[in-house]
């Protein structure tokens, strides 16, 4: 299958890793903003803390590193496929290809048009930046989508940060590209040896959560469309 593209250009951002290991982005205007994931990681995560306490720090680090490698592979394969590269599977491990194959039918069926993939964006209002996996039309609706991997299915209550993350990307793009409206977010989770989990949500449902995390932004200052 060949995907249709309507490329929307964005200015490149410089990624910077601070001495504390946290990721920042430098904007074209010279501002330095934390990444969305860095900011979200600073919040309370009681479920994650309990898991680390149960398995121990060494095992938690091992599993996290394994998950990061798996996630990088899925992103790499998906981006090649969405860019219509026929060799998207070349050199990839079978287990990572199996994860991608589980979500591929949804991409083929749901994506109507692609505007950008792996694109860095920022918000001067929210004072934050990050890289969105995909900006597309999903079921003919402008959508910010993010790819995730998991060893087992996740409960929706565990992944609110995913919805906040993609909502922030949508708000950032609406700020950078006045006139664009992005009402929808989608989280695609490839689960090992299981059916994938697809969560498609209205962006407006997570605006309150965004305000709570990014307290420097006032509701009326955000350039969002309801």
How many CB atoms lie under 10 A from the CB of residue 134? 26
Average pLDDT of the residues in 107-123: 97
pLDDT one-digit tens code per residue, 188-214: 999 999 999 999 999 999 999 998 888
Q: Cα(78)–Cα(199) distance, rounded to whole angstroms?
A: 18
* 226 vs 85, more confident: 85
* 51 vs 90, more confident: 90
Q: What local confidence, expressed as pLDDT, does residue 91 receive? A: 92
For residue 126, give the 3-state DSSP assignment: coil
For residue 224, give the 3-state DSSP assignment: coil
CATH 3.90.320 fits 14-68+111-221, yes or no: yes
State the pLDDT confidence band at 225, using cuts at 50, 70 and 90.
Answer: very low
Q: Cα(204)–Cα(72) distance, rounded to whole angstroms?
A: 29
* 23 vs 27, more confident: 27
Q: What local confidence, expressed as pLDDT, does residue 216 receive? A: 58
Average pLDDT of the residues in 19-24: 77
Q: Where are the domains of the chain?
A: 14-68+111-221
Q: What local confidence, expressed as pLDDT, does residue 194 receive? A: 95
Of 20-24, 66-70, 186-190, 221-225, give the lowest mean pLDDT range: 221-225
* 127 vs 216, more confident: 127
> Is the pLDDT at 218 greater than 90, yes or no?
no
> Is the pLDDT at 219 greater than 70, yes or no?
no
Q: What local confidence, expressed as pLDDT, does residue 214 receive? A: 83
Q: What local confidence, expressed as pLDDT, does residue 23 receive? A: 84
Average pLDDT of the residues in 121-133: 95
Q: What local confidence, expressed as pLDDT, does residue 96 receive? A: 94
200 - beta bridge partners?
A: 186
Largest CA distance in the chain: 49
Q: Cα(149)–Cα(73) distance, rounded to whole angstroms?
A: 10
Q: Cα(126)–Cα(109) distance, rounded to whole angstroms?
A: 34
Q: Is 96 left (phi over 0), alpha (psi -120 to 50) or beta?
A: alpha
* 81 contacts 90 by C-beta, under 8 angstroms: no
For residue 163, count CB atoms less than 10 angstroms from its CB and return exposed for 0-12, middle for 13-18, buried for 19 or more: buried
Average pLDDT of the residues in 84-106: 95
Q: What local confidence, expressed as pLDDT, does residue 105 receive? A: 97
> Is the pLDDT at 221 greater than 80, yes or no?
no
DSSP3 helix / strand / coil % (the chain, rounded to 5): 40, 25, 30
> Is the pLDDT at 133 greater than 90, yes or no?
yes
Of 15-19, 38-42, 64-68, 191-195, give the lowest mean pLDDT range: 64-68
pTM: 0.89
CA-closest candidate to residue 188, choices 220, 217, 159: 159
């Amino acid at each position: 299958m060949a995907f249709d593209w309507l490329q929307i250009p964005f200015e490149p951002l410089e990624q910077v890793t601070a001495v504390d290991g946290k990721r920042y982005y430098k904007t074209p205007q010279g501002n330095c903003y934390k990444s969305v994931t860095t900011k979200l990681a600073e919040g309370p995560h009681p479920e994650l803390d309990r898991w680390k306490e149960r398995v121990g720090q060494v095992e938690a680090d091992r599993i996290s590193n394994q998950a990061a490698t798996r996630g990088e592979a899925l992103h790499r394969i998906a981006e090649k496929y969405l860019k219509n590269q026929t060799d998207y599977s070349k050199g990839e491990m079978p287990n990572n290809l199996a994860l991608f194959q589980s979500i591929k039918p949804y991409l083929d069926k749901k994506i109507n048009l692609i505007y950008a993939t792996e694109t860095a964006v920022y918000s001067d209002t929210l004072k934050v930046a990050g890289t969105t996996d995909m900006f597309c039309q999903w079921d003919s609706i402008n959508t910010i989508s993010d790819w995730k991997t998991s060893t087992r299915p996740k409960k929706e209550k565990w992944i609110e940060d995913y919805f906040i993350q993609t909502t922030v990307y949508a708000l950032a793009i609406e700020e950078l590209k006045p006139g664009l409206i992005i009402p929808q977010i989608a989280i695609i989770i490839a689960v090992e040896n299981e059916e994938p989990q697809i969560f498609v949500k209205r962006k407006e449902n997570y605006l309150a959560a965004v305000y709570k995390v990014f307290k420097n932004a006032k509701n009326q200052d955000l350039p969002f469309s309801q």
